[in-house]
Structure 1
């Protein structure tokens, strides 16, 4: 086998590397300038309503308790306002109250139970008089003339007779000065109604007070305050001027507050 030792090894040229594909640079997206955000409307801070300063707490001043003497003084002042008493009798009034009830304190306690009954009853015992349902005409006129004599007047009655004994109807002739009247009557109220007619021009009047019984009570007054008396405060007076509390269920006549009987038909009234 021939040796070709004399020939040098010839290096064959290496094949050229394959051409790399041309890579085009990616086109960068065009960046648009960011649109400006609308300017925010400035927010005004909330205005707190002005608060009024708290009013100072009013101090509760306790009403001082009235003494029994003050209560008695107020009752007398009311009687003066009613036209049933005069201011000059205040001290006498206090003494009479203490004598009748034992003390001013006892009067105050009684007043809390039923002021109208207590005060009306006292006024009758102090300034008025009572007449029983079955009455003697002479005794009635004696009580009336005891009051009328202070004004120079006297009422007399003659020729009294019984007209209807079963119904208690009587007749008599009443005289005041030169005036004479023949009257039929059943009860004391009818007699005093006639006497009031006779003394009307003198500015006087016998008023009837409630007794809460079958008896009658009267007192002589000069200038009663009817507007106040009609309210039935402390003293209950039975008259047409104080009949402001409805009608009598029997006869339909006007009646007053806390009346026991109707002054027109004498029927009992519900309490």
Structure 2
């Protein structure tokens, strides 16, 4: 019996299952940032507070009384100042009592006269007394001095003791430093010295005359010039102790220390003997 082949009908596809929609994440909305205000180029008017005015009372405040100038020195005060100053000179061994009338005449030539000296004596006694002493018994030299001129002043005073110093072979060592060299001769003694100012020169002179118990003292001038005074057998203990006469020497350096080099200095000195620093 012949075989029969039956065609198999294709099965119809069923409806596709509906796909489930994928869940979507909710996005957070970005917060809006406030936008800065747009500048228009115009300035807002500033409100100024009215300053409170003090009510006028119509009263005038009394002025403070101004200090009255000191009265001029009386003749008695002038005479007392002259007597005290001269007595100090005698006590220091700088002069002798009979020179009081001569001293009075010399003070009359003080700038402004005796009254000006007495007025300065009130306020700055050490300045007034030192100045009149330098003008009376001493001599002055400018900062830019000539050795020959200085030596003439020295010999004028040494002549009273029958002494004289000669200057030889003066030469420059360094003009920028104002340094010079010379030979000082006194009798049979010769000494080669180097100096840059009058102070150095007189120091070399003192080394020559020291054996004669003489010395030139440097007096304070509070200026650019120099002043010197010849003294026999200086009474250093009294000169260092007094505040009436300002002498610049190692023996009188008892007023403190130099702020630059630390060397001892005097109370009323204007500069340092060691380093030359000027005090304000």
Q: Specify if TM > 0.5.
A: yes
**Aligned pairs (5 A) from 1:5-154:** 67-101=77-111, 103-154=113-164
Alpha-carbon shift at residue 111 of structure 1 (Å): 1.2
Q: 1:155 is matched with which residue?
A: 165
1:107 positional shift: 2.4
Q: Which has the larger radius of gyration?
A: 1
Is the contact between residue 81 and residue 225 of structure 1 (CA under 8 Å) also seen in structure 2? no
Distance 2:78 2:194 in 1: 47
Q: Return the alpha-carbon distance in structure 2 between the equivalents of residues 110 and 248 of structure 1.
A: 27
3-state secondary structure, aligned to 1:123: helix
Please name the residue that 2:221 is paired with. 211
- Unaligned runs of at least 5 residues, structure 1: 1-64
Match of 2:237 among 227, 233, 252: 227
4+ runs deviating over 4 angstroms: none
In the other structure, the counterpart of 1:261 is: 271
Distance 1:167-1:103 versus aligned 2 partners, 3 A rule: closer
What SS does the aligned partner of 2:210 have? helix
| Secondary structure class of the residue paired with 1:211 | coil
Tell me which residue corresponds to 1:48.
Answer: none
- What is the match of residue 27 of structure 2? none
Secondary structure of 1:230's match? helix
Superposition deviation, residue 126 in structure 1: 0.6
Q: Separation in 1 of the partners of 2:222 and 2:135?
A: 14
Which segments of 5 or more consecutive residues in structure 2 lack a partner in the other structure?
Answer: 1-74
Match of 2:40 in 1: none
The whole-number CA distance in structure 1 between the counterparts of 2:78 and 2:99 is 18
CA distance in structure 2 between the aligned counterparts of 1:250 and 1:67, rounded to whole angstroms: 41
SS of the residue aligned with 1:171? strand
SS at match of 2:265: coil
RMSD of equivalent CA atoms: 1.6
Instruction: Give the whole-Å Cα distance in 2 for the aligned partners of 1:238 and 1:168.
Output: 22
**TM-score w.r.t. structure 2 length?**
0.70
Distance 1:191 1:141 in 2: 9
Aligned length: 206
| Aligned 8 A contact 2:206 2:215 in 1 | yes
Cα distance in 2 between the residues matched to 1:261 and 1:133: 14
Q: Give yes or no for contact 1:204–1:220 (8 Å, CA) kept in 2.
A: yes
Distance of aligned partners of 1:92 and 1:260 in 2 relative to their CA distance in 1, 3 Å threshold? same
**1:192 pairs with one of 190, 195, 202:** 202
1:249: Cα distance to partner?
Answer: 2.0
Please state whether the residue corresponding to 1:205 is helix, strand or coil.
Answer: strand
CA-CA distance at 1:269 after TM superposition: 2.2
> In the alignment, does 2:211 pair up with 1:201?
yes
TM-aligned CA deviation for residue 101 of structure 1: 4.7
Q: Would you say the 8 A contact 2:167–2:184 is kept in 1?
A: yes
